Amino acid sequence: MEKFVFFGGKGGVGKTTVSSAYALKCANADQQTLVVSTDPAHSTSDVFDQQFDDDPRPVDGVDNLHAMEIDPDEEVEEHLMETKRALGDQVSPALVNEIDRQIEMAHQTPGAYESALFDRFVDVMRDSDDYDRVVFDTSPTGGTLRLLSLPEFLQGWIDRLLAKRQQSVKLFERAAIGNQEPRRMLDGDPIIARLQARKELFEYAEETLREQASFFLVLNPDTLSIRETERAVAGLSEYDLAVEGLVVNRLTPAPDDDEQGRGARYLRDRVATEQDRLATIRSRFEVPLVAAIETRVAEVRGDLLREVAAELDVSVAPDATASD
Amino acid sequence: MEKFVFFGGKGGVGKTTVSSAYALKCANADQQTLVVSTDPAHSTSDVFDQQFDDDPRPVDGVDNLHAMEIDPDEEVEEHLMETKRALGDQVSPALVNEIDRQIEMAHQTPGAYESALFDRFVDVMRDSDDYDRVVFDTSPTGGTLRLLSLPEFLQGWIDRLLAKRQQSVKLFERAAIGNQEPRRMLDGDPIIARLQARKELFEYAEETLREQASFFLVLNPDTLSIRETERAVAGLSEYDLAVEGLVVNRLTPAPDDDEQGRGARYLRDRVATEQDRLATIRSRFEVPLVAAIETRVAEVRGDLLREVAAELDVSVAPDATASD
């Protein structure tokens, strides 16, 4: 298994449960593990019955396991403040208000949320030397993966800005031979530096997702979830990212064999329908089914989490090829 | 009820079923009704067992009812082509390739999907004179609603562009007194015209959503769905758009009273949990609960759709205040 493991899927399918269970399994196998949650609703704080925040914190009673929770709304807000600050330093005071307005608008467009969250993921990946394994309870999807094609565009902007700067520097140099100021200006341009940093961030993200990450998708046994999973597999493969396994969650439990009545009929119908869908999933996807987990009435935590972890047929061993 | 009725909620909660049932109810009450679906998975084509596409088409066997389906991916593609064409006409051939690259990038950012879809909604609303009621199986959410604040920003750009143009025209006029060309240039600027059209579109959207639209949210009896619904209510109210009712869908049916065994225990546990959640929904939201619909094992269509329609406590009468 790669160092970074993502459990993707639509809201409500049970990603947090599955990723927490997998993280627990890794920790129990002596991997230093960090589980990262971005789901504000059903969070790792619920699963482990302990409050987590933006900084990794040890999980009580479990060796080798840390957890953190990222609040996407806060990320957008921080991203906004950071961008304002960085650009505010580089323009004249007269322009600051106008720039702030434009940055605010950019952050109010649909998609700002995903972009800010993606940035934060990359931060976590870059800063994970202390861990053998980092488990995310979400996965970049179509919209976010598109960010991976940004480096090419950013390079275009950087090249053009550099050309313009070089022209200016030449003019300066002709006007003041021997003065080193113009050349320093070329080296230290803060806008170019920022574009360069963004480009490198996305390049790092692309390389890391391709070479050191494993993707799993969690789905429920309904037609909508199956179609969405097909779309997610296609979206990831467009960027050469292969899904390694599917986890089907929330299967309806069967009644006892001798049970009769309205409830038993309802459950048998449902179980039969879901078995058909499992067959569909097995035949339609090239990706293997690594777990089929029944619905629990109680919240999954403690013993139940260990039960779910045992049902996951997902390796916890470090990947030999990734250890270099 | 207002002319435009939106049934929002997360994917998979049953928006298409509920909106189709409500549209059927309106049509049966002699309202000329159009139902608009944007959900590629569980579509009105499934519900009515008839293929629909981007143009409204009569529903077989139901008087007064038309249906259409919008494919969001196609909308993004068309939006892309249209933008390229419109801007391509206005720049020098040398710039066309570069402009195309930039437009393509803009369409690959997260959020392009929502923006293109929103444009299409507004088109449908503007072009709905033939109908008394238009029912959408989705609702603009936080990210998309932010587009409603665009007019203010667009006005800023328009004002600045107009000021620049006026300066140029003055210079031209000084150079060639009596020549009408410069003034025509001011009137006919294609970029300003485009910004102006966008601004008017968003203004129309805001006014129409505020004055002629009703919003309902569909949810399932689970904690995630409840939290997401709270967020959706808050998101809409931020733009002064009030939610008129909640539809709870996919309630688990109870077993017979005398049923025993694993299945009956499971169902009773679930029903009890869901009743608690219904109580939570009733107490936590100021919005009334207008329907609580049990899960059907079979696909909801035909007779089942009429059953669901009968369970919806949502008026179909035209709104007196909206008829002017």
Cβ contacts of B11 on chain A, cutoff 8 Å:
10, 224, 228
Please indicate whether, in this complex, the C-beta atoms of B110 and A258 are within 8 angstroms of each other. no
| Whether pLDDT at B70 is above 50 | yes
CB atoms within 10 A of CB B253: 16
Judge contact between A23 and A313, C-beta under 8 A.
no
- Of B111 and B117, the one with more pLDDT: B117
Buried b / exposed e across B101-110, counting CB within 10 Å, b at 16+? Answer: eebebebbbb
Please indicate whether, in this complex, the C-beta atoms of B263 and A259 are within 8 angstroms of each other. yes
Rounded Cα–Cα distance for residues A62 and A41 (Å)? 23
- Would you state the pLDDT for residue B264? 94
- Would you state the pLDDT for residue A135? 96
How confident is residue B28, by pLDDT bands cut at 50, 70 and 90? very high
| Whether pLDDT at B182 is above 70 | no
Please indicate whether, in this complex, the C-beta atoms of B256 and A263 are within 8 angstroms of each other. yes
Rounded Cα–Cα distance for residues A39 and A55 (Å)? 15
Of B144, B147, B256, the CB nearest to A261: B256
Please indicate whether, in this complex, the C-beta atoms of B297 and A266 are within 8 angstroms of each other. yes
Rounded Cα–Cα distance for residues B200 and B193 (Å)? 10
From A55-69, A107-121, B76-90, B177-191, the region with the lowest mean pLDDT: B177-191
Rounded Cα–Cα distance for residues A15 and A102 (Å)? 36
Q: For the domain with range B4-322, which CATH number is right: 3.40.50.300, 3.30.70.260, 3.30.530.20, 3.30.300.30?
A: 3.40.50.300
A159–chain B nearest CA distance, Å: 14
Please indicate whether, in this complex, the C-beta atoms of A110 and B262 are within 8 angstroms of each other. no
* Cβ-based neighbours of A197, under 8 Å, separated by 6 or more: none
- Would you state the pLDDT for residue B179? 59
Which CATH superfamily is A4-77+113-146+208-322 part of?
A: P-loop containing nucleotide triphosphate hydrolases (3.40.50.300)
Token couple for B32: 């000329």
Rounded Cα–Cα distance for residues B231 and A117 (Å)? 18
Q: Tell me which H or E stretch contains B48.
A: none
From B79-83, B167-171, B175-179, the region with the lowest mean pLDDT: B175-179
Please indicate whether, in this complex, the C-beta atoms of A108 and B262 are within 8 angstroms of each other. no
Cβ contacts of B110 on chain A, cutoff 8 Å:
110-111, 113-115, 143-144, 146-147
Q: Give the residue on A whose Cα is nearest the Cα of B150.
A: A105
Residue A255, amino acid:
P
Judge contact between B36 and B137, C-beta under 8 A.
yes
B260–chain A nearest CA distance, Å: 7
Judge contact between B21 and B291, C-beta under 8 A.
no
Rg of chain B in Å (alpha carbons): 24
pLDDT, chain A, mean: 85
Of B111, B260, B269, the CB nearest to A111: B111
- Would you state the pLDDT for residue B197? 85
Summarised one tens digit per residue, pLDDT across range B213-231 is: 999 999 999 887 898 899 8
Of A41, A146, A262, the CB nearest to B256: A262
- Would you state the pLDDT for residue A324? 37
- Would you state the pLDDT for residue B323? 39
- Of A153 and B316, the one with more pLDDT: B316
| Whether pLDDT at B162 is above 70 | yes
Classify strands A33-37 and A57-58 as parallel, antiparallel or unpaired: unpaired
What average pLDDT does the segment B163-186 reach? 69
What average pLDDT does the segment A131-147 reach? 84
Rounded Cα–Cα distance for residues B267 and A256 (Å)? 13
- Percentage of the residues of chain A whose pLDDT score is greater than 90: 42
- Three-state secondary structure readout of chain A: CCCEEEEECCCCCCHHHHHHHHHHHHHHCCCCEEEEECCCCCCHHHHHCCCCCCCCEECCCCCCEEEEECCHHHHHHHHHHHHHHHHHCCCCHHHHHHHHHHHHHHHHCCCHHHHHHHHHHHHHHHCCCCCCEEEECCCCCHHHHHHHHHHHHHHHHHHHHHHHHHHHHHHHHHHCCCCCHHHHHHHCCHHHHHHHHHHHHHHHHHHHHHHHEEEEEEECCCHHHHHHHHHHHHHHHCCCCCEEEEEEEEECCCCCCCCCCHHHHHHHHHHHHHHHHHHHHHHHCCCCEEEEEECCCCCCCCHHHHHHHHHCCCCCCCCHHHCC
Cβ contacts of A273 on chain B, cutoff 8 Å:
297
- Of B152 and B271, the one with more pLDDT: B271
- Would you state the pLDDT for residue B230? 93
How confident is residue B41, by pLDDT bands cut at 50, 70 and 90? low
- Give which of A114, A250, A262 to mutate to test B binding, by max B Cβ within 10 Å: A262
- Would you state the pLDDT for residue A175? 72
Please indicate whether, in this complex, the C-beta atoms of A156 and B42 are within 8 angstroms of each other. no
How confident is residue B322, by pLDDT bands cut at 50, 70 and 90? very low
Rounded Cα–Cα distance for residues A3 and A113 (Å)? 25
- Give which of A47, A260, A270, A274 to mutate to test B binding, by max B Cβ within 10 Å: A260
| Whether pLDDT at A122 is above 80 | yes
- Would you state the pLDDT for residue B181? 61
- Of A278 and A176, the one with more pLDDT: A278
- Give which of A259, A274, A295 to mutate to test B binding, by max B Cβ within 10 Å: A259
B285–chain A nearest CA distance, Å: 17
How confident is residue A323, by pLDDT bands cut at 50, 70 and 90? very low
Q: Give the residue on A whose Cα is nearest the Cα of B146.
A: A108
Please indicate whether, in this complex, the C-beta atoms of A262 and B255 are within 8 angstroms of each other. yes
Rounded Cα–Cα distance for residues A218 and A194 (Å)? 37
- Of A260 and A319, the one with more pLDDT: A260
Cβ contacts of A195 on chain B, cutoff 8 Å:
none
Domain borders along chain A are 4-77+113-146+208-322
How confident is residue A158, by pLDDT bands cut at 50, 70 and 90? confident
* Cβ-based neighbours of B293, under 8 Å, separated by 6 or more: B14, B18, B247, B248, B249, B250, B251, B308, B311
B141–chain A nearest CA distance, Å: 10
Please indicate whether, in this complex, the C-beta atoms of B101 and A262 are within 8 angstroms of each other. no
B306–chain A nearest CA distance, Å: 21
| Whether pLDDT at A144 is above 60 | yes
Among A127-131, A150-154, B90-94, name the most confident range. A127-131
Judge contact between A28 and A128, C-beta under 8 A.
no
Strand order in the sheet with A289-294: A57-58, A65-69, A33-37, A133-136, A4-8, A213-219, A243-251, A289-294
Of B143, B150, B266, the CB nearest to A253: B266
- Percentage of the residues of chain B whose pLDDT score is greater than 70: 91
Classify strands A213-219 and B289-294 as parallel, antiparallel or unpaired: unpaired
- Would you state the pLDDT for residue B180? 60
What average pLDDT does the segment B107-117 reach? 73
- Of A62 and A43, the one with more pLDDT: A62
Handedness of CA A299, A301, A303, A304 (dihedral sign): positive
B320–chain A nearest CA distance, Å: 35
A252–chain B nearest CA distance, Å: 9
- Of A66 and B239, the one with more pLDDT: A66
Rounded Cα–Cα distance for residues B186 and B190 (Å)? 10
Summarised one tens digit per residue, pLDDT across range A161-210 is: 878 877 877 777 777 655 566 565 666 677 778 888 888 888 999 999 99
For residue B294, the cross-strand partners are B251
Cβ contacts of B12 on chain A, cutoff 8 Å:
10, 12, 220, 222, 224-225
